[in-house]
């Protein structure tokens, strides 16, 4: 058992809050640095934040952050994201030259998953968030960089490479969460269930109008994890 889990409750919570806050600060600093050095690739800093934010849930799971802290904190971060969307206090997160509510939707999805499943089923929250973090993040990075056949859905460009990255990243994260859930004695889906979640996440990511897939993909993936878990445990 980690040493912090042997500490009194509020000391555990303070350690967890400090770990998450430090990670978010480092992530914001890194995103700003990427934006300064590669100003012509503004999507890179945004995707760095997108991918890096996914680590917050495993951190909160590891530190056993209480529901009474996790949900208000996620709601506050979503509110700050909405303010930043309007005011551009941290341009590295929002300034990508296109209209998108993705950052707000991402925060709202994390808040929603916490409301539904935290802390009884942390794996469902982690599964939903990490599918979006790495799967969609890799799709957004690799799709434009690597030439491949592409198509357009409601004005949004999709490609073979981007879609493949979404599928591969999503499945990799689901397999990781399955290992963590198994080690912690939490229910988890079978391999067939993971493939089902991956396929549906990929389909939802295709409909990425104004960034609202940042809400639909994590919430549906987390719900599917919860729904399919009994068969795989």
Q: Has residue 40 got a pLDDT over 80?
A: no
Residue 155: pLDDT band with limits 50, 70, 90: confident
pLDDT score, position 232: 47
Lowest mean per-residue pLDDT among 43-47, 149-153, 176-180: 43-47
Does residue 118 surpass a pLDDT of 90? yes
Domain boundaries, the chain: 3-232
Q: For position 199, what pLDDT does the model report?
A: 97
Q: Is the pLDDT of residue 186 over 70?
A: yes
Q: Is the pLDDT of residue 146 over 60?
A: yes
- How many C-alpha atoms does 194 have within 13 Å on its Cβ side? 23
Residue 170: is its pLDDT beyond 50?
yes
- Return d(Cα 113, Cα 214) in angstroms, integer: 13
The angle, 0 to 180 degrees and rounded to 10, between the axes of the packed helices 102-117 and 42-53 is: 0
**Predicted confidence band of residue 144 (pLDDT cuts 50, 70, 90):** confident
* 81 compared with 100, residue with greater pLDDT: 81
| Model confidence at 91: pLDDT above 70 | no
Helix axis angle, 160-183 to 122-130, nearest 10°: 160
Return the sign of the alpha-carbon dihedral for residues 60, 63, 66, 72: negative
% pLDDT > 90, the chain: 47
pLDDT attached to residue 217: 95
Q: What is the pTM of this model?
A: 0.88
């Amino acid at each position: 058992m980690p040493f912090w889990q042997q500490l009194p409750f509020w000391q555990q919570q303070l350690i967890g809050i400090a770990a998450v806050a430090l990670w978010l600060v480092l992530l914001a600093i890194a995103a700003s640095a990427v934006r300064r050095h590669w100003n012509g690739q503004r999507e890179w800093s945004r995707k760095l934040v997108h991918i890096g934010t996914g680590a917050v849930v495993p951190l909160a799971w590891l530190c056993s952050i209480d529901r009474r802290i996790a949900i208000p904190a996620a709601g506050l971060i979503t509110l700050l994201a909405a303010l930043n969307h309007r005011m551009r206090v941290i341009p590295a997160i929002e300034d990508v030259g296109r209209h998108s509510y993705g950052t707000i939707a991402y925060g709202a999805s994390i808040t929603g998953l916490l409301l539904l499943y935290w802390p009884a089923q942390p794996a469902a929250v982690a599964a939903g968030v990490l599918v979006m973090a790495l799967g969609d993040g890799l799709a957004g990075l690799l799709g434009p960089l690597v030439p491949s056949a592409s198509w357009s859905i409601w004005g949004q460009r999709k490609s073979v490479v981007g879609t493949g990255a979404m599928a591969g990243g999503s499945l990799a994260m689901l397999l990781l969460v399955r290992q963590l859930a198994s080690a912690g004695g939490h229910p988890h889906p079978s391999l067939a269930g993971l493939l089902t979640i991956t396929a549906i996440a990929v389909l939802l990511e295709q409909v990425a109008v104004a960034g609202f897939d940042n809400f639909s993909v994590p919430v549906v993936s987390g719900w599917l994890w919860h729904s399919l878990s009994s068969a795989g445990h």
